[in-house]
Every structure is written in structure tokens, then in C-alpha cells.
Structure 1
Amino acid sequence: MKHILLVENHSIVRLATIFILREVLPAVTSWEADTFPEALRIVSSQKLDLIVLDINLPDGEGFQMIEKIRRIQPEVLIMMFSGVDEEIYAAHYLRVGANGFVSKTSSTEEVRAAITAMFDIGRYMSPDVAEALLRGPFARPGRNGNPLVMLSQRELEVMDLLVQGKWTKEIATFLNITGSSVSTYKTRIFEKLGVSTVLELYQRVSELRDME
């Protein structure tokens, strides 16, 4: 019997994903959470084999979610599941401790393969993710020409918080870094994406995510 937690705030996506999970793993007990705090409560109370975790939860905490889960259950398998471009985010999540990453745009067959691989070998990455990992710090705009690929993990974190409307002080507190560090990252992000204001950043990020 496998014990799985699905963390996803869209009910239709949860329903479809649970259906696939039960196809792949007939003997499964599943829990569902639509917020990250709710997910942490389940992680604290249930021994789990796999957590399928959406990146873009309204109250999610980005890359820090992995660390918080690992503090409670160090050995649990974590598969990131999101609609964001895997070429942009997957390598970063794998580096901070996720075991796998599958896009919501993947075919049903690939999702099944990802779940199977997680239990068979403890990890899953698509060929595109493997390529992104090989490029590492020398990344250049990828197959779709998206410059978001050039952002570092910390720059992505700061960018996501900026487009959410967070101020420098809020970002510094959330990421446990100094305000001057936030300003430095902000400058780098603006340079890489060719913008000069947060409003322009919001518009630019929206355009680039539409390329995914």
C-alpha cells in the first residue's frame, strides 16, 4: 500500500491526477490539500511515500517548500507538478531536493511514466530537464528562446515575489536575506529581462510565461 499526498489548489486537476494515480497504483491511500499549510499538517501527521506538489499554490513558498517538507519527512519522495515551463524551474527544484518534476502539459502517458519511475528508481526527469541540468550555470535561452531560463534560483524567487506585489522589505524577510541583496537581485533580473519597473516586469513575465 502506497501513501500519497496531492497538493493542488484546482479541484479538477486534483480529480484527474488522483484518477491517474489509482490507475498506476491500485493499492494506494491518498490525501489531498489545496494549500501549503494544510499540506504541512498532513505531512506532520501521516507517513507518506510520495508527495505530488504544485509549484504555484496561492500560499506556496517556492523553493522553500522542499526544505520544510524535508525537515518533517526527510525520506519522502517529492514530485513537483506544475504548469510552469519545466525548462525554467525543474532543474532548480531538483537541485534543492525534489525527486522529480512533471509538467501539467505532459501527456497522460508521461505522467504515468513519471509516477512509475518515482517508485521504481526514486526520481524522474524528462529529456528537456536533463538537458537543462547539463547546461547548469551556463544556461542560455532554451529551445523556446525564453530568457527566464537565464535566471538563477534566487533570482526566480525574487522575481516571483516581485510580480506578486511584494516590497523589498517583505521579500528580504521571507527569503531571510538583506534588503540590499534583494535590490541587487532585482537589478540583475531587470537587466536580464530588459525592464526598468516592476510593472514592466509583471507584463514581461506574463508574456514570457505565455511562451511556455
Structure 2
Amino acid sequence: MKHVLLVENHSIVRLATLFIIRDVFPAVTSWETDNFPDALHIVSTRRLDLIVLDINIPDGEGFQMVAKIRRLQPEVTILVFSDIDEELYAVHYLKAGVNGFLSKTSSTPEIRIAILSVLTNGRYVSEMVQQILLRRNITPGMRQSNPLAALSQREIEVMDLLLEGKWTKEIATLLNITGSSVSTYKLRIFEKLGVNTVIELYQKVSTLRE
């Protein structure tokens, strides 16, 4: 019997995902939620084998969600299933501690393979992510075609919050770092992306993500 939590704010996606999971593992007990606070409550009260986690959910906390889940259930398998940019975010989420990263544009057979892989082998990455990891390992100094790929995990967190309109003090509180650290990360982001203001940052990122 597999115990699965689906954290996804679109009911049709939850239904389709659960259908695929039950096709792979017929004996499944499942819980569903559309927001992160409720997800944490379920994680704290139920022993789980698999968490299928969307990143863009109400009250989501980016990379911090992984750390909070791991503090409650260190051994649980976490599969990110999201529409965020796989090329930009997948490696960072794998480093943050998830077992797999799957794009919502994936085909049904690939979703089935991903679920089976994380629950049997403990790991899944798409062919795209495999190529990214291979390039980084073979040529670690190679310049990335997309400058967003040069950002660190923390820089991405700060950038996303800046793009949401958060101020330095708010970002410091959300990420549990000092205001001066936020300013340092902001400066690094601006330097790497060649911008001088948050407005220019928004325009640059919008172009790079098209």
C-alpha cells in the first residue's frame, strides 16, 4: 500500500495524476490539498511514501517548501510536478532535496515512468535535465546560453521575490536572512543579468522566459 499526497491547486490535474499513480500502483491511499499550509499539516500527521508537489500553489514558499517537508519526514519521496521553467529550476530543486522534477508538459508515459522511478529507484530526471547535468560535469566553466542559468538557488529565490514586488525587509524575513544579505544577492543578480533596476529585471526575465 502506497501513501501519497498530491499538492496541486487544480482539481483536474490532481484527478489525472492520481489516476496515473493508481495505474502504476493499484493499492494507494491518497490525500489532496491545494495549498502549502494544509500540505504541511498532512505531512505532520500522516506517514507518506510520495508527495507530488506543484511549486506554484497558494502560500507556496519555493525552495523552502522542500526543507520544511524534509524536517517533518526526512525519508519521504518528493516529486516536483510543475509548469515552472524546467531548464532553470530543475537542478536547483534537485539540489534542494527533491527526488525528481517533472514538467506538466510531459506525456502520460513519461509521468508514469517518473512516478515509478522515484518510488523504486529514488530518483527521476528528464532527458533535458540529464543533458544539463552532463554539460555541467563535463565542462563546468562553460558559459550558459541563458544567463538565468548562472544564478544560484538563493539568487533565484531573491529574484522571484523581487519580481513579486517584495521589499528588502520582506525578502529578508521570508528567507530568514539579513537585509544586507538580500542587498548583496540583489547586486549579484543585477550584475549577472546586466540590469540596474527591478523594472529592467522584470523586462529582462520576461524576455528570457519567452
TM-score in terms of structure 2 length: 0.92
Q: Is the 8 A contact 1:140 1:149 kept in 2?
A: no
Distance 2:115 2:176 in 1: 34
* Deviation at residue 200 of structure 1 after TM alignment: 2.2
Q: Name the structure 1 match of 2:65.
A: 65
Q: Name the structure 1 match of 2:31.
A: 31
RMSD, aligned α-carbons: 1.6
Distance 2:58 2:108 in 1: 25
* Deviation at residue 12 of structure 1 after TM alignment: 2.3
Residues 10, 166 of structure 1: alpha-carbon distance in 2 compared, 3 angstrom cutoff:
same
Q: Is the 8 A contact 1:82 1:104 kept in 2?
A: yes
Is 1:202 equivalent to 2:205 in the alignment?
no
- Equivalent position amino acid for 1:140 in 2: R
Q: Name the structure 2 match of 1:140.
A: 143
Show the 5 A alignment for 1:104-183: 104-134=104-134, 135=136, 138=141, 140-141=143-144, 145-183=145-183
Match of 1:112, SS? helix
Distance 2:45 2:32 in 1: 13
Residues 138, 176 of structure 1: alpha-carbon distance in 2 compared, 3 angstrom cutoff:
farther
| Aligned positions, number | 207
Query: How far does the alpha carbon of each residue in 1:87-145 deviate from its partner, in whole angstroms, 9 at most, with x for none?
Result: 2111111112111111111111111100010111111111221233341664633xxx4
Residues 62, 178 of structure 1: alpha-carbon distance in 2 compared, 3 angstrom cutoff:
same
Q: Name the structure 1 match of 2:187.
A: 187
Show the 5 A alignment for 1:64-103: 64-103=64-103
Residues 5, 179 of structure 1: alpha-carbon distance in 2 compared, 3 angstrom cutoff:
same
Q: Name the structure 2 match of 1:12.
A: 12
Residues 160, 139 of structure 1: alpha-carbon distance in 2 compared, 3 angstrom cutoff:
farther
* Deviation at residue 66 of structure 1 after TM alignment: 0.9
- Equivalent position amino acid for 1:123 in 2: R
Q: Is the 8 A contact 1:139 1:149 kept in 2?
A: no
Gaps of 5+ in 2: none
- Equivalent position amino acid for 1:92 in 2: H
Distance 1:171 1:183 in 2: 10
Residues 71, 152 of structure 1: alpha-carbon distance in 2 compared, 3 angstrom cutoff:
same
Q: Is the 8 A contact 2:9 2:57 kept in 1?
A: yes
* Deviation at residue 32 of structure 1 after TM alignment: 0.8
Distance 2:142 2:88 in 1: 10
* Deviation at residue 6 of structure 1 after TM alignment: 0.7
Distance 1:138 1:171 in 2: 30
- Equivalent position amino acid for 2:3 in 1: H
Gaps of 5+ in 1: none
Structure 1 residue ranges, 4+ long, deviating more than 3 angstroms after superposition: 136-140
